Structure 1
Amino acid sequence: MTGRDRTVLVGIGGWDGAAEAVRWAARLAEGRDLELELVHCLQTAAPAGFGGPGVLFPDSPADSGCLAAAGADLAVSVEDAPPVRNEVYTDSAPALLIDRSRDARMVVLGRTGTDGVSGMLAGATAAAVVSNAGCPVAVVRGRRGDGPVPLDGPVAVGVDTSPNSEAAIAAAFEEASFRKVPLVAVHAWADVVCDAIERTARPAAERDPRRQPVEERLLANRLDGWQEKYPDVEVRRKLVRDRPRQVLLEESERAQLIVVGSRGRGGFAGMLLGSTSQALIHHSSCPVLVVRPETRR
C-alpha cells in the first residue's frame, strides 16, 4: 500500500457484518490518520458472471438514509475515531466500490452472507469487488465467521512465487508493524503431477524428498529484504506440505488478520480471484486482506 491515498472506504449495505466492518475500519483509519468514508448504495446488483443480471432488492432512500446514519454512529463510537464522510449513492455497490477503489487506500466489507438469495448476492458482491478493486480489499470476519472479530494474535501471510504474493508480503509486513505483532509467513505446497494436455492435476505417487529444501529456499528468497525494511517485525516461518487454503484457514483461527494475493501461482489465466482467496473470504475465522498488484488510474 502506498502513502498517497488517504481514504478507507467501507461498504455498509448489501451484506452481513457491516457493523463489524465499520468498527474495524474506524480503528484502522484512526491509527493511521486516514479519512473514513462510509458508502451505501441504493442498488445491490449482481455483476455479470456472478449470479445473474439486474438489480435485486433495491433499498428505498429512507431505508438507506437510516442505515447510513447508523453506520456513522458506529464509526464515531470508536475511541478517537477519525472524521467520517457518509454518502448514499444510486449506483450499484460493486460498480461504485470498484470505481472508487482506484483512489482509495483500502476497501472494507463485512462478511459475506450464506443463506438464500440475499446471501448469494452478498457473496457475489464481495467476490466482484475483491477481484477487480484497484487497492487492497478487507473482508471483516470473526471467529467462526459470525463470532467476535479478533483484535489480537499475529498477522499471517500466504507466500508463493506469484507477483500477487509479493504485493501481499509487502502489505503483511506493513500490517504487522502497524499492529506491533509477529508475522507468520506461510508457504504451503502439495506434491502434484500436472497433465498439460488434460489440464488436470493429481497427487504424486510418492513424496519427493528433494522438495523440502527447495521450498525453504523459496520462502527465504521471498522474505529477503522485507525483514531488513521492518526490523521491528518478528517473522515466524511456516512450511507445510498441504493445500494452501487449508493451512491458512487453520491459521485464521489464531491470527487477527490473514493477507493473501488475489490469485496464486496455481490460477488459470483470466481468473481474477484464486481458490485460496475465495475460500478465505467466505470461511476465514478472522479478517482477510486480499491484495492485487497496484492498478491506479
Structure 2
Amino acid sequence: MTDAPESTSPAAGAVVGVDGSEQSLRAAHWAAAEAHRRKMRLTVLTAYSMPAFAASSMDGGYAMMDDSGLRAGAEGVIDQAKEFLRDYPGEVAYRIEPGDPSTVLLEESRTAELIVIGTRGRGGFLGRLLGSVSSALPAHAHSPVVLVPLQYSSRAENAVTTATGAIPIVSAADAPGAEPPQSLLDQGATPIHERDSRPVVAGVDGSDYGRVAALTAAREASERQTSLKLVCALPPVSAITMWAPTHIDDADAVEELQGKLYAGALWLNYHYPTLHIEYEVHSGTSVDVLVEQTRYAQLTVLGTRGRGGFAGMLLGSTSQGVIQHAEGPLMVVPEEEDRRIGNRDEFGPVL
C-alpha cells in the first residue's frame, strides 16, 4: 500500500467516507475493491464539526479544546481505516476535513470519480457522516454515489488470484456473534474481488435520467465482463384502473412494457455491442421490486430523477426504504447530459 500525502487534488479517484463504524468499514472494503478494479486512487476521508448548540454555548477557549478533541477522534478513525487497509496494494490517500460531513462529501463529488458511503453510521460522535448523508448526498452529488448496505458481504470463497496467490475476502457477516470491525482488522483483509458473475441491474422508468443511468449501468456491466438486466416495476394495472371506462388488462400492459424494454436493450447494444442484456417487468411497487433485485445483483444503478418510478423515488421519502433495505451496493447516477440519448427513438417505442 502506498500511503499518499494528504491532498485536495482532483485526483481523488474513489472517495469513501468513514466514521469508525462497522458499516463504514464495509463501505471502505467495497471502495477499495472498486478503486483497484478501476486502477485509480482511493481516498479515505472523515469529517468532523462541532454541534451548533455546543459551539454557541462555549467561549473561545472551550471551543478550541473541544475542536482538539474532535480532531483527535477523527485521527483515531483514520488510524483504524489505515489498519483495516494495511494490505491493500493500491494507492491510498487519507484525509481529515473540518466541516459538516454532508457538505464535505458534496464538495468532494465535484472532482471525485465516485463517492462511496454506508447506509448507516455511528450514533453520536461523527455519526452524521453515514446517517443523514446517505439520504441527502445521492440527490445532490455531482458524481455517482454508491451506497453500501449493512448486509454487504464479500465472502471468503470470493478470492482473486494474484502473483502472490489467492487473497481471501473476509466478511464479519460469516461469523455470527463476532465483533465485525475488530475481526476484520485482525484478519487484515485485502479488499479485492475476483470477477463477479452476477449481473448489473438498471432500474428504468422512461425518463432521460433513467436512460443516463441505464447507459452507466451498461458501461459498468461491460467493464465487469458480466450481463446487464433492465428492470421495470409495474403496479397491478387492474387495481389502478378498476374505475376506468375501458378495462386495461395486466397482461396487455406487461406485453407493452416488455416491447419497450426490448427496444431499450437494442439501443444499449448499439452502444455496447458485446454486452449481453436481459429485461424484465415485475409486478409490484418500485421499492419492493428494487430491493428484491439488490439481493442478486453485484450492483444496482438508478438515476436521481425520473417519472416517479425507480429514479424519481430517490428524491422522496421512499428512498429511505430502499437505502435501509437494499442488500447489495446501490449506485445513484447524477443528472447529466449524454448525447447518446439522442438516438434512442431510432430503436423502437420508448417507455
Judge same fold: TM > 0.5, yes or no. yes
CA contact (8 A) 2:301 2:330 kept: yes
Tell me which residue corresponds to 1:61.
71
Provide structure 1 residue ranges, at least 5 long, that are not aligned to the other structure.
46-52, 194-201
1:27 aligned onto 2:33: yes
Equivalent position to 1:189, from 234, 245, 258: 234
Other-structure match for 1:72: 82
Are residue 178 (structure 1) and residue 223 (structure 2) matched? Answer: yes
Query: Using the alignment, how far apart are the partners of 2:228 and 2:318 within structure 1?
Result: 19
**Cα gap change, 1:292/1:222 in structure 2, threshold over 3 Å: closer, same or farther?**
farther
SS of 2:84's partner is helix
Letter in 1 for 2:326: S
Q: 1:243 to 1:222 in 2, by over 3 A?
A: same
Inter-partner Cα distance in structure 1 for 2:80 and 2:122: 24
**C-alpha separation in 1, matches of 2:140 and 2:336:** 11
> Are positions 1:164 and 2:209 aligned together?
yes
Larger displacement relative to structure 2 (226-235 or 56-65): 56-65
Distance 1:104 1:254, change over 3 A: same
Residue 36 (1) aligns with residue 42 (2): yes
The reply to whether residue 255 of structure 1 matches residue 292 of structure 2 is no
- In the TM superposition, residue 9 of structure 1 has moved relative to its aligned partner by 0.9
Alignment-derived partner of residue 241 in structure 1: 283
TM-superposed deviation, 1:103: 1.3
Q: How far has the Cα of 1:226 moved from its partner?
A: 1.6
Compute the displacement of 1:217 (Å). Answer: 2.6
- Alignment root-mean-square deviation, CA: 3.5
1:70-115, Cα deviation, whole Å (9 max, x unpaired): 223333433xx32111110111100011111011111000232598
**AA aligned opposite 1:126:** S
Identity %: 28
Assess if the C-alpha contact under 8 Å between 1:258 and 1:286 holds in 2. Answer: yes
Counting strand residues as a fraction of each chain, which structure ranks higher? 1
Distance 2:12 2:221 in 1: 20
Q: Indicate yes or no: 2:240 matched with 1:203.
A: yes
What is residue 105 of structure 2 aligned with on the other side? Answer: 97
Post-superposition offset of 1:23: 1.5
Normalization by structure 2: what TM-score? Answer: 0.67
Distance 1:66 1:293 in 2: 36
**1:77 and 1:277, CA in 2 relative to 1: closer, same or farther beyond 3 A?**
farther
Query: 1:141-196: CA deviations, max 9, x gaps?
Result: 25389947997422111011112211211121122122222222111122569xxx
- Check 1:240–1:97 CA distance in 2 against 1; reply closer, same or farther (3 A cut): same
* Secondary structure of 1:225 counterpart: helix
1:244–1:276 contact (8 Å) kept in structure 2: no
**Structure of larger gyration radius:** 2
Q: Which has the higher helix share?
A: 2
Q: How far is 1:120 from its partner?
A: 8.0
Counterpart code for 2:329:
P
Runs of 4 or more consecutive aligned structure 1 residues displaced over 6 Å after TM superposition: 53-59, 114-121, 148-151
Q: Do the aligned partners of 1:192 and 1:204 also contact (CA within 8 Å) in 2? A: yes
In structure 1, C-alpha distance between the alignment counterparts of 2:144 and 2:296, rounded to whole Å: 22
